[in-house]
């Protein structure tokens, strides 16, 4: 059934891996899958081509989109037909509100599956994620754990070994810049004096 799906989780929760496995499953059934990612995510390329690449090694070539792109026009550009077509969006938190509106309209005819973060390092909803929560027929949390064993819900940004609570809203990065953790561990770290070094080693 054609729907708008939003599958979200903290960093390291296997969102991208699940997106790629979903792509494989649809293709096994004869569907044409169009995999998109935001152009600002420049971490992964192969032979000059944009790639979606998961931490466990799954990868696939993809189509990049920009902030001002219109997905209705992209459907025309890439000849995305209604019959047996599927759109999958990785890093969907970077969609704009208007792009989510466009994808909602597209999902009336073909399935649209979005995978991404729910909140930023400030624990605030991303623009795209907020609109997806408002419009998606299907919401699913992809769970991951904090190093203490609790469920991870916070995407914590570290700068020079310290927890960042202000700064640019978007800085692309992986394990070298971010760590997912539970709110309890996050609260402990943000309450520690900034002069304490290596806050990442503080025990939960």
Query: Domains plus CATH for the chain?
Result: 4-141 (3.40.50.300), 154-201 (no CATH)
Residues forming beta bridges with residue 178, ordered by sequence position: 157
- The DSSP secondary-structure symbol of 86 reads E
Catalytic annotation present for 91: yes
Residue in 66, 73, 83, 91 annotated catalytic: 91
Question: Is 192 in contact with 202 (CB distance < 8 Å)?
Answer: yes
Cα three-residue angle 123-129-133, rounded to 5 degrees: 110
pLDDT at 171 (0 to 100): 63
Mean pLDDT of 19-26: 97
Mean pLDDT, range 49-71, rounded to an integer: 93
More confident residue, 41 or 95: 95
Q: What is the pLDDT of residue 163?
A: 77
Confidence class of residue 188 from pLDDT cuts 50, 70 and 90?
A: confident
Closest-CA residue to 151 (of 9, 17, 56)? 9
The pLDDT of residue 201: 53
């Amino acid at each position: 059934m054609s729907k708008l799906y939003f599958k979200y989780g903290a960093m390291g929760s296997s969102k991208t891996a699940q997106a790629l496995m979903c792509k494989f499953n649809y293709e096994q059934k004869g569907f044409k899958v169009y995999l998109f990612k935001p152009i600002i995510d420049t971490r992964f390329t192969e032979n000059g081509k944009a790639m979606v690449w998961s931490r466990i090694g799954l990868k696939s070539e993809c189509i990049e989109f920009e902030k001002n792109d219109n997905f209705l026009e992209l459907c025309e550009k890439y000849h995305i037909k209604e019959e047996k077509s599927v759109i999958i969006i990785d890093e969907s938190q970077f969609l704009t509100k208007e792009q989510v509106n466009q994808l909602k309209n597209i999902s009336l005819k073909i399935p649209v599956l979005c995978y991404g973060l729910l909140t930023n390092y400030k624990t605030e909803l991303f623009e795209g994620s907020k609109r997806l929560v408002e419009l998606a027929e299907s919401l699913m949390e992809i769970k991951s754990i904090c190093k203490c064993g609790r469920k991870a819900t916070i995407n914590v940004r570290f700068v020079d070994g310290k927890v960042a609570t202000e700064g640019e809203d978007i800085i692309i990065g992986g394990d070298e810049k971010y760590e997912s953790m539970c709110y309890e561990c996050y609260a402990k770290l943000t309450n520690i004096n900034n002069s304490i070094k290596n806050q990442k080693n503080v025990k939960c």
